[in-house]
Amino acid sequence: MIIDPVTLIVALITVSTPVLLAAIGELVVEKAGVLNLGVEGMMIMGAVCGFVTAHHTGSPLMAFVAGMGGAAALAMLFAVLTQLLMANQVASGLALTLFGLGLAALIGVGYGGLPVPPVSRPFPEALRDIPVAGPILFSHSTLTYVALILVAAVWYVLTRTRIGLILRAVGENHDAAHALGYKVVRIRILAILFGGACAGLGGAFLSVVRVQNWFEGMTAGAGWIALALVVFASWKPWRVLLGAWLFGGIAALQLRLQAVEVGVPVALLDASPYLVTILVLVIISSDRSRAALNAPAALGRVFHASS
Amino acid sequence: MTALLEIEGLTKAYPGVVANDAVSFSVQPGEVHALLGENGAGKSTLVKMIYGLVKPDRGAMRLRGAAYAPSEPRAARAAGVAMVFQHFSLFEALSVAENIALGMENPPKARDLAERIRSVSETYGLPLDPFRLVGDLSAGERQRVEIIRCLLQDPKLLIMDEPTSVLTPQEVEILFHTLRKLSSEGTAILYISHKLEEIRTLCDAATILRLGKKVGECTPREVTAAHMAELMVGKSLSVPARDDHEPGEVLLHVAGLSVTPASPFGMPLRHVGLEVRAGEVLGIGGVAGNGQDELLSALSGETPVSPGAITLQGQPVGHLGPNERRVLGLLCAPEERLGHAAAPDMSLTENAVLTGRIRQGLDAHGFVNWGKARGFAEAIIARFDVRTPGPGVAARALSGGNLQKFVIGREILQDPTVLVVNQPTWGVDASAAAAIRQALLDLAQGGAAVIVISQDLDELLEISDRFCALNEGRLSAPRPARGLTMEEIGLMLGGAHDMHDVAAGAGA
Amino acid sequence: MIRLEKRPQPSRGWVIGGPVLAVVLTMAAGGLMFAALGKDPVEAIRIIFWDPLFSQQFASYSRPQLLVKAGPLILIAIGLSLGFRAGIWNIGAEGQYIVGAICGAAFGLAFWPSESPLIFPGMVLAGLLGGFLWAMIPALLRVYARTNEILVSLLLVYVAEAMLASAATGWLRNPEGSGFPGSRTLSRHPGTDNPELIAGTGMHWGVLAAFVAVIAAYVVMNRHVLGYQIRLAGEAPRAARFGGVNAGRLVILCMGVSGALAGAAGLFEVSGPAGRISIDFNVGYGFTAIIVAFLGRLNPVGILLAGLLLALTFIGGELAQLMMGIPAPAIQAFQGMLLFFLLALDLLANYRIRLKGRAPA
């Protein structure tokens, strides 16, 4: 066998972590009724802030905090534009991506190829050496486990707690939520910041843990894939995890296929993660009833308290 | 006895209008107090101030003798004031229990809450399943959700904004029963309405508003409806005039019309059949959400159906789109003025093109003749007394009544063979409503066939020749409107369809 | 406290004043950014906005560049603006641009070394068709499978880039290029070249096409029923359906036109300024055109002006890079900032700002 399934699964989990983090954050934002198309821009800001910080401080923890902070600052811009100045969300999200890509490239000038510290792995070597289960379950960096815990936490908060209920209510009908006395704008701003921090963490994981390097445009559409995953998941946290693994699996597999030079054109392999994402989007979207029922009803609509 | 709520000189102004001008009145504990006034009289603004949604510019409120100035609805709820909104503040994709929990400060655990919802709803005769999605409920059931949400807070004052506009006469009876029980337990109710008979049946006291000012108060049981109407409107209104006439040939025929709704919470149409003749007004009554929108979309051509389901003067038109139907003379005016019947940010001239382009010849070789379009818009404005600075004004700048006159006028001026209107006078002040009804009657008089879909039963009885009811997407057989009693109508609205069922239902 | 009040009608003054003020604010904020980079902000702004047009030293080179860079931006942005007006979000113009370029170039190379005068028109048609078909993927998926066109059109950019890589290194590679990636040079071959039409102006067929597109879009949007329907669909989709607008047809039309124009822009670029298919001939015009469309308020004349302005920032940015060592990405951030300020100032066109507590008249 040319491709070892165990290493493939390990790679799959690593590749999927950045999009998983970004997508779970965006899910919360969309559940609050806001469509932030700036995920790609926030991710790359997280990637560059994380990388620069990791290089200077030598602390991966500080790098992750910086990645979250940088992306959340960008998200704050989006929040001010869309929530306080009531700008169009689609246009503002695109602006965020274009601006984020430029700003990140600017910050990262001269940092390409510089060293970053290794990241910690929570489980001892003995566990990692267990055949099959060891690499798959115990070989990952701490942040990978954090991402999984985050998915569980978002699921719990959204479905089982009052905060989650209020968040969903705001995303479902902001006028009614306002009439009941909930602070629609404040709740949405907090959700946007959370989404930004998650995207930034995903970006920092990409540069500091996975690639351990910085180059312009390194997110390569991961932010857009994250947006697609939220739709694919019908706004359900566990399905986001499933989607991220599916995407990670394709991405990891195509890299290995390129390495072993099978008879498939390289261009097709390069494009395969995007093509598969489009394919699953189409399959999910054409099921009218399911897609419509879970989508937050106020998604993307501007809220202005007129009374 | 100290009053429960005292209102002293409340004033609130918006740009261009003074919504409330030094309004004062008081509500006693356990009293059912009516707040009576036309659309635009300032009732909604007043109760929004009491509920903490709007801050007054001037004036003071006292609750049980203590100063009361709620900064937000939460504060109002904490002080024992609860409110049932006219347009429900509900979340369709959430369950009944979740909706109720959102309206409470400290909701109990999910299981306990469900138990309490069941017990309270049974005590007050408003049965409700806590785990159903609100989107699947009827309008009447949704109102129950709102009421129970309020009752769980144990309010001292319950505000109800036009609660009966979405109910069948039978459901109104149940609601009044509940409200009387609450009142006997000491809860005061502030009841907002413009329906006089209702207020005379239910309320102990009434405050009457006109154009933001308090113009009178009375004990409704002791005065006539006509007296209250005069106070409310400020002048006596003419009842639409019409002559008796024999209807002509069948212009529109609908048979076996079934439609699956586009949205997850829509109502499917089930084998709807009707026919309407030249010179006739057919009234279609029904509680909101029973398929009115779907029926209008099917008739307008927004939802294409099988060709033979709808025939216009013998020609199958079910498969045709809106403009093709306009060519043949089938015109419509939907309920939602802003966003459906008119584009809010476009000028009246541009909105005149929306439906008038084909029949009025407002374009040539694909290019819009804006001069001609402006002329058509001006004609509508002049003929239907639309109050606006000119046809260049955006639709959303017009008041509801004026925009509605424009929308209805736009269709009538195109000389339709068949006109279908949905809620033609909803949210429109009384004089505009009277003008619109007269215009519809005149149109029928001139030989057109008119279908009026409305939730306002008084309106339907006033202008229809025949009446039928829409219930759960099914249309009852029509009956002559003259001589129908409210009870018979109630049974039709409730789904007892043919004469047989009505008789049996009435006897039971 | 500040309170916002919706205007009954958008303010005409701010509709025009907004973009102008946004440019001024961007210059100020951009100056701060350059200062933070340790560069003289006043000099940087002068080099970006003044020198390319008026400095004796550079103007002769950079003035023609203005049209060269503005042409594709305007051509793409005009197409996008139709869809944006109707609430149809094609943000994958970069991909359509690439595919149009590949198809057009492939047509020209298929007949190589013919110098027939029919080759270039054929290449233009192939470019239009390539962009059109690439845009049809998200359009048809939206109409027939309700798939979000924003995501699909954007994801297809990455697919187009993979195709470009394979074309440049494989099936369109110059057979006489000793194995280096990149196609034959189209711009130096009669028959396949897109020449400068008037010497020293930078005017080529693509720029001419952009001007024609501006005029055509102006007429369609203001006078034609189609333009009316596009505006209607964007402002009130339900009213549009009631008014007999076929939403699906509109999606296909708007996406198709924007894709075709982007594809043509790509072809004009590879047969002219860029010269040939190479792995990185695309410099992000497809994305910058989004900024151009918004900055021009989706209005054809506005887009013309916005395209020239953004072209100026590209040229001025290169100059600033050369003269002051300002990094290239700074210009991209600068352009993003412009869009932010513009969106923020939109507020003033639609809302009136009032201080709280003062009683309104």
Residue B502: pLDDT over 50: no
From the list C4, C144, C150, the residue facing A37 with the nearest CB is C150
Cα–chain center distance at A170:
22
How far apart CA A243 and CA A12 sit, in angstroms, is 12
Nearest to residue B409, comparing CAs of B358, B355, B459, B489?
B355
Taking only the tens place, the pLDDT of each residue in A76-88 is 999 999 999 988 8
Using pLDDT thresholds of 50, 70 and 90, give the confidence band for residue B244.
low
How many A-C residue pairs are in contact by the CB < 8 A criterion?
Answer: 139
**Amino acid code (one letter) for A53:** T
A:B CB pairs within 8 Å: 56
Number of domains in chain C: 1
Q: Per the domain annotation, does C101 fall within a domain?
A: yes
Could you tell me where the beta strands, DSSP code E, fall in B198-316? Answer: 205-210, 213-218, 250-259, 269-277, 281-285, 310-312, 315-316
pLDDT of B239 > 80? The answer is no
Is C214 among the domain residues? yes
Chain segment C62-93, per-residue pLDDT in tens:
888 999 999 999 999 999 999 999 999 999 99
Question: What was the pLDDT predicted at A127?
Answer: 81
- Cβ neighbours, 10 Å, residue B215: 17
What is the tens place of the pLDDT at every residue in A11-63? Answer: 899 999 999 999 999 999 999 999 999 999 999 999 999 999 999 999 999 99
* Domain-embedded: residue C6: no
- A180 chain-B contacts, CB cut-off 8 A: 73, 89, 102-103
Instruction: Establish if C185 belongs to a structural domain.
Output: yes
Highest mean pLDDT among B114-128, B226-240, C225-239: C225-239
Interface list for A 270-299 with B (CB within 8 A): 289, 292-294, 296-297
Query: At C264, is the pLDDT very low, low, confident or very high (cuts 50, 70, 90)?
Result: very high
3-state helix, strand, coil in chain A (%, to 5): 75, 0, 25
Q: Which residues pair with B422 in a beta bridge?
A: B453
Number of Cβ atoms within 10 Å of the Cβ of C248: 12
A173 at interface of B, judged by CB pairs closer than 8 A? yes
Q: How far apart are the CA of C344 and the nearest CA of chain A, in angstroms?
A: 6
pLDDT for res A2: 67
Whether B506 shows a pLDDT value over 50: the answer reads: no
For the stretch A113-162, pLDDT in tens is: 898 888 888 888 888 888 888 888 888 888 999 999 999 999 999 999 99
Distances (CA, A) of A265 to A201, A257, A260: 34, 10, 12
pLDDT for B324 beyond 90: yes
Gap between the Cα atoms of B187 and B152, Å rounded: 13
| Cβ partners under 8 Å of residue B207, min gap 6 | B25, B33, B34, B35, B36, B214, B216, B217
**Residues from chain C contacting residue A92 (CB–CB below 8 Å):** 340, 343
Other chains touching C, judged by 3 or more CB pairs under 8 Å: A, B
Contact C163 A267 (CB under 8 A): yes
Residue ranges of domains in chain B, CATH in brackets: 5-233 (3.40.50.300), 250-507 (3.40.50.300)
Beta-carbon contacts of C161 under 8 Å, excluding residues fewer than 6 positions away, are: C95, C98, C282
Mean pLDDT of B160-175: 83
Q: What is the CATH number of the domain that holds C73?
A: 1.10.3470
Q: Tell me the average pLDDT of chain C.
A: 90
Instruction: Enumerate the residues of chain B whose CB falls inside 8 A of the CB of residue A176.
Output: 88-91
Question: Does residue B505 have a pLDDT over 60?
Answer: no
Mean pLDDT in residue range B167-185:
88
Q: Which residues contact A225 (CB under 8 A, 6 or more apart)?
A: A19, A23, A247, A273, A274, A277, C155
B322 touches chain C (CB under 8 A): yes
- Out of C4, C145, C339, name the one closest to residue A98 (CB): C339
Confidence of residue B508 (pLDDT cuts 50, 70, 90): very low
pLDDT tens for A175-216 read: 999 988 899 999 999 999 999 999 999 999 999 999 999 999
Touching subunits for chain A (3+ Cβ pairs under 8 A): B, C
Q: Report yes or no on C356 lying in a domain.
A: no
3 state SS of B235: coil
pLDDT tens for each residue of C107-159: 999 998 888 899 999 999 999 999 999 999 999 999 999 899 999 999 999 99
Residue scoring higher pLDDT (B129 or B241): B129
Nearest CA to CA, how far is C235 from chain B (Å)?
Answer: 7
Residue B496: per-residue pLDDT: 58
Residue-level pLDDT at C197: 87
Tokens of B418: 């068949």
User: Residue C358's pLDDT is what?
Assistant: 44
pLDDT computed for residue C359 by the predictor: 41
Residue whose structure tokens are 């402006």: B374
pLDDT at A125: 82
A179 and B85 within 8 Å at the Cβ level: the answer is yes
- Work out the pLDDT band at B498, boundaries 50, 70, 90: very low
Predicted ipTM?
Answer: 0.89
- Which residues of chain B from 94 to 153 reach within 8 Å of chain A, CB to CB? 94, 98, 101-103, 107
Residue range of the domain that includes C211: 38-326
Reported as a single tens digit per residue, the pLDDT across A222-258 is 999 999 999 888 899 999 999 999 999 999 998 888 8
pLDDT at residue B347, rounded to an integer: 94
Q: Is the pLDDT of residue C361 over 50?
A: no
Higher pLDDT residue, C101 or B429?
A: C101
| Cα A177 from Cα A165, distance rounded (Å) | 11
Q: Rounded CA gap, B440 and C140, in Å?
A: 43
Q: How confident is the model at residue B207 (pLDDT cuts 50, 70, 90)?
A: very high
Residue C1 is predicted with a pLDDT of 57
Cα C291 to Cα C287: distance, rounded to the nearest angstrom: 7
Stretch C188-199: mean pLDDT: 85
Amino acid at C212: V
Whether B72 has its CB under 8 Å from any CB of chain A: the answer is yes
Check A181 against B52: CB less than 8 A apart. yes
Query: Average pLDDT in the B415-422 region?
Result: 96
Please report, rounded to a whole number, the percentage of residues in chain C having pLDDT higher than 70. Answer: 98
User: What are the distances in angstroms from CA B266 to CA A287, B138, C176, C285?
Assistant: 17, 11, 65, 44
The whole-angstrom distance between A169's CA and the closest CA on chain B is 7
Rounded to a whole number, what is the distance in Å from the CA of C85 to chain A's nearest CA? 12
d(CA C359, CA C361): 6
pLDDT in tens, B349-392: 999 999 999 999 999 999 999 999 999 999 999 999 898 888 99
pTM of structure: 0.89
Smallest Cβ distance to A293: which of B90, B93, B107? B93
pLDDT digits (tens, 9 = 90+) for B78-129: 899 999 887 668 898 899 999 999 988 788 888 899 999 998 888 888 888 9
Is the pLDDT at C191 greater than 50? The verdict is yes
Whether C116 maps to a domain, the answer reads yes
What pLDDT, on the 0 to 100 scale, is given for residue B357? 94
Q: What does the pLDDT average to over C155-165?
A: 94
Interface test with A, best of C90, C94, C146 (most A CBs within 10 A): C146
Q: Give the mean pLDDT of A96-123.
A: 90
- The residue that leads in pLDDT, A137 or C305, is C305
**Contacts from A122-126 at CB under 8 Å and sequence distance 24+?**
none
Which domains, and CATH codes, for chain A? 5-113+123-294 (1.10.3470)
Residues 6 or more apart whose CB falls under 8 angstroms from that of B33 comprise: B25, B27, B188, B189, B190, B191, B203, B204, B205, B206, B207
Pairing of strands B367-368, B479-480: unpaired
Model pLDDT, residue B242: 66
Do the chains contact at B73 and A180, CB–CB below 8 Å? yes
Q: Is residue C340 part of a domain?
A: no
Given a cut of 50, whether residue B267 has pLDDT beyond it is yes
pLDDT tens-digit map of C11-63:
778 888 888 899 999 999 999 999 998 889 999 999 999 999 888 888 888 88
Chains that touch B (3 or more CB pairs under 8 A): A, C
Comparing alpha-carbon positions, the chain C residue that sits nearest to B301 is: C242
Q: Which residues of C touch B322 (CB under 8 A)?
A: 241-244
Q: In this complex, do C241 and B343 lie within 8 Å of one another by their Cβ atoms?
A: no
Confidence of residue C250 (pLDDT cuts 50, 70, 90): very high
Q: Does C233 reside within a domain? A: yes
Query: DSSP 3-state assignment of B475?
Result: strand
